[in-house]
Amino acid sequence: MKRTHYAGTLREEHIGQEVVLFGWVASRRDQGGCIFIDLRDREGIAQVMFDPTVDAAAFEAADRSRREWVLGIRGVVRDRGTMRNPRLPTGAIEIVAREAVVFNKSETPPFEILDDIDTNEDKRLEFRYLDLRRPKLQKALRARHLLSQATRNHMTDNGFLEVETPFLVKYTPGGARNFLVPARLHPGKFYALAESPQLFKQLLMVGGYDRYFQIVRCFRDEDLRIDRQPEFTQLDVEMSFVNQDDIFTIIEGLIFKVWKEIAGIDLLAKYPSGTFPRMKYDESMRRFGNDKPDVRFGLEHIDLTELTIEHGGGGVPMLTPLAEKYKSGEFRRDLPPEIVKALVVPASANFSRTEGDKLEAVVKGMGSKGLARAKVGPSGEWTQSPLAKNISNEFRDAVNAACGAKDGDLILLQFGTASQVHMVMANLRLHLGKKLGLIPESGAAGNWEFLWVVEPPLFEYDDEGKRWAAAHHPFTRPHDASLEFLESDPGRVLCYRYDIVLNGFEIGGGSIRLHDPDVQAKVFGVLGIRDEDARQKFGFLLDALRFGAPPHGGIALGWDRLSMLLTETEAIRDVIAFPKTQKASDAMTGAPDRVAPEQLAELKVKTLAE
RNA sequence: GGGGUGGUAGUUAAGUUGGUUAUAACGCCGGCCUGUCACGCCGGAGGCCGCGGGUUCGAGUCCCGUCCACCCCGCCA
């Protein structure tokens, strides 16, 4: 018996043909005199009819068969006439079985192999090979394959070479925590698993390869999220002799192409120029509180810091110290360390007091002390608010005006350190967006909002260490216009760093690299990295940059996230065949696990656990 | 490291103020049915109520601890 067709591909054009199908029993309906089996393979499902008067042995095999048994069927495709099933692509036809072979039986599976099952994910991960039989997962993994395939074509067509780089690399401090691998041939020493090919791709530019890409696994030993796995995949790209626009063009071309080829969506209808809009980091933080804004909906933040300063806190005890610190000059207005922000829930949302309390619980879960609220009355007065009794009428009216708040609106306030207020308000905005139905809980619902976020600061101040730290990595090129502040006022230095954002997910980021040794030395100076430290950590790269490094830059796209968004699935686990759980273990294989003492001895490694 | 939600039959869930034999649906097993396609009808089996301890005459239910899964913060591009 040799397969002639996939079950899911059969259509009316096959009527009259004899076909051979191999697949799994998706469902079996015993009518007594005849039996129907829905046979499933990777292309879909087709109904097979077993009639004892056509072939008694085939009928007997169907009689014995159960769900998930593996069958081979030889039969003739027949028109179902008036008995069609409009819900199946193959519903116009059925196969009348003339021969049936049972390749394998199956135990009763722990859950049904259906798209709409609501089995808990831990059970599905334990039996991942069964979960993978579900059409939904097969569709997602196929889309991911098409994405990678189209990408290889696009990159090749644009002159890129795919080059592999090592996974076993030298540990470099900073950035993500690395997985470590004991080096048997070097007792007491360790490799690190590469958290990205960052340094190697820059070396490929020095090596003259000009345009590099790789679809590559990366490893980071950090806590997991719905869009983070300990091993994940990037489309890694690096180019020589380019500026930011050149890199954007390559990525925009790629995205337009794959959205059309795989999702069937022509992004030119929304972005006729073939480019995505750009927003400065500063604007993104001000309006949305983070650097990956979901611009599918409004509910933008309203910055009340200036207003608060102007009114000296407006009589609100908790805001007075903040206003005074700005007035005394302790806080800089151009780089505000503490801020006041508001969000307005429109009256139309009809928010109850209890719902406001729930919101407060949400922000407290994010480390906020509380959520000041004020319900606006017909003439602008505030009710249901602890602020109402202290706030001056002038300040209250000014806040109402700044918020555009009308009768029935609910104003939500946060104040404190800029990073905390931004984080809380950004998450609160997303929470409200979903709660008010402005964005779907998951998926895009046909609304794809792409955005480049550009010109972030090069440094950020580390309050605990009381020093400047690299906001991304120390090889990012500062903006030419910012160079003068490099040593005098590092907080004002912007850089050629960019993120591409889709519907509130950061799907990629990159930078133009710093290839000027003089500027590099100044950057290290600001970071407090001494020459010998730099040599110790990045010696090979610094050496390479002195041997005729071309100007270069690149980007990396999160392949799992992009696949998740493209397929409108809910987590990157849905586009990874064998993902890890939230605790980074494998529910199916039991990894990680203990190893035999002899194995550790061979590696000269001793464990302190237990 | 912190916060939250959940864990009851193979699966998904209900389980009241602590009180008799722990329910339902789907699945599974047996029987019947030649046009079903979420087939239908009749019958049946199936439980360490995550685990450990405590309170109580009595715990699925209350308390303490612990494990696992998921979501968020910290962390991480």
Classify residue A372 by its DSSP letter: E
- Looking across all nucleic acid strands, the nucleotide with the smallest C1' to CA distance from residue A84 is B37
* pLDDT tens, residue by residue, A26-52: 999 999 999 999 999 999 999 999 999
How many angstroms is C1' of B71 away from CA of A122? 14
Cβ(A281)–Cβ(A457) below 8 Å: yes
Q: Residues of A359-370 as b/e, b for ≥16 C-beta within 10 angstroms?
A: bbebbeeeebee
How many angstroms is C1' of B71 away from CA of A222? 17
A386 sits within 7 Å of strand B by its CB: no
CA distance A405 to A443: 31
Residues of A (295-354) placing their beta carbon closer than 7 angstroms to any atom of strand B are none
Phi, psi (deg, nearest 5) at residue A290: -145, 180
**What pairing do the DSSP bridges indicate for beta strands A278-280 and A450-454?**
parallel
pLDDT attached to residue A467: 81
pLDDT attached to residue A446: 85
CA distance A29 to A47: 10
Among A101, A102, A66, A92, smallest CA distance to A9 is for A92
Residues of chain A with pLDDT under 70: 464-465, 610
pLDDT attached to residue A610: 58
Cis peptide before A592 (omega within 30 of 0): yes
How many angstroms is C1' of B66 away from CA of A253? 53
Among A365, A374, A436, smallest CA distance to A409 is for A374
Cβ neighbours around A485 below 10 Å, total = 16
Residues of A (143-182) placing their beta carbon closer than 7 angstroms to any atom of strand B are 175-177
CA distance A278 to A274: 13
Q: Where are the beta strands (DSSP E) in A430-504?
A: 450-454, 459-462, 467-470, 497-502
pLDDT attached to residue A173: 79
A461 sits within 7 Å of strand B by its CB: no
pLDDT attached to residue A141: 96
- Looking across all nucleic acid strands, the nucleotide with the smallest C1' to CA distance from residue A32 is B33
From residue A424, alpha-carbon distances to A201, A355, A361, A400, A438 in Å are: 36, 17, 12, 21, 19
From residue A419, alpha-carbon distances to A155, A340, A368 in Å are: 38, 11, 11
pLDDT attached to residue A561: 96
- Looking across all nucleic acid strands, the nucleotide with the smallest C1' to CA distance from residue A456 is B77
From residue A113, alpha-carbon distances to A128, A133, A610 in Å are: 11, 7, 41
A362 sits within 7 Å of strand B by its CB: no
A49 sits within 7 Å of strand B by its CB: yes
pLDDT attached to residue A477: 94
A56 sits within 7 Å of strand B by its CB: no
Positions of strand B less than 7 angstroms from a protein CB: 1-4, 10-13, 26-29, 32-40, 68-77
